[in-house]
Amino acid sequence: MNTEEYANEILAKLYSQARAQFGSVIKSYWFNDGDPCPGCGGKVDAMKVKGEDALSISAFIYRERGVLIGYILCSRCTKRVFKAAKRNPGKQTSLHTAIEMNLVKAYKKHMASMDA
């Protein structure tokens, strides 16, 4: 299984969990599978965890459309998110806000390309 297939499988599981928790508010899901990193605009890359390459697959709910958007950050942004979570558990950071804004833009661009 390649990385994209694996990421989509994980996102499908996250979607099922979100539907179970939030019901019909969640209508669909979409995976932002391309570069650049939605956090900093850099290249998406793996980070090392116990000597192995790892990707951090995350998701957020684009409430306006009821879409669960999955994404992968670069290693630098992933480390920043993990650090922030340890310092301020459960708190939204400016990085989170930037990620969400960039993903909404990417989603809207993707949807517009479907109309072309």
Mean pLDDT of 28-45: 90
Record the pTM: 0.88
Determine the pLDDT at residue 65. Answer: 95
Q: Is the pLDDT of residue 98 over 80?
A: yes
If you average pLDDT over residues 66-71, what whole number do you get? 95
How far CA 21 is from CA of 5, 15, 24, 25, 88, in Å, comes to 24, 10, 9, 10, 24
Neighbours of 80 (CB within 10 A): 17
Mean pLDDT across the stretch 15-25? 94
